[in-house]
Amino acid sequence: MPSNVIEIIVSEENDLERIDKFLRASLEQDLSRSYVQKLLKSGHIRIDGRVIKQNHRVRTDDVITVEIPEPVPLELAPEDIPLDIVYQDSSILVINKQPGLAVHPGAGNWTRTLVNGLLYHVKDLSSIGGAERPGIVHRLDKDTAGLMVIAKDDASHRFLTGEFSGRRVRKKYAAVVIGKPRTDHGIIDLPIGRHRKYRHKMAVDEKGRKAVTVFTLRQVWNSRLGVFSLLDIELHTGRTHQIRVHCSALGTPIVGDPLYSKTWEKYRVPYLLLASVGLAFTHPKDGGTMTFAAELPEHMRQFLEKIKRLP
Give the whole-angstrom CA distance, residue 153 versus residue 58.
46
- The type of residue at 117 is G
Give the whole-angstrom CA distance, residue 147 versus residue 277.
6
20, 30, 62, 141: the catalytic one is 141
Query: How many CB atoms lie under 10 A from the CB of residue 219?
Result: 12
Q: Which residues contact 42 (CB under 8 A, 6 or more apart)?
A: none
Give the whole-angstrom CA distance, residue 104 versus residue 111.
9
| 141 counts as catalytic | yes
Q: What is the DSSP code (8-state) at residue 109?
A: B
Contact call for residues 181 and 231 (beta carbons, < 8 A) = yes
Nearest Cα to Cα of residue 242 among 269, 270, 214, 218: 214
Catalytic (active-site) positions:
141
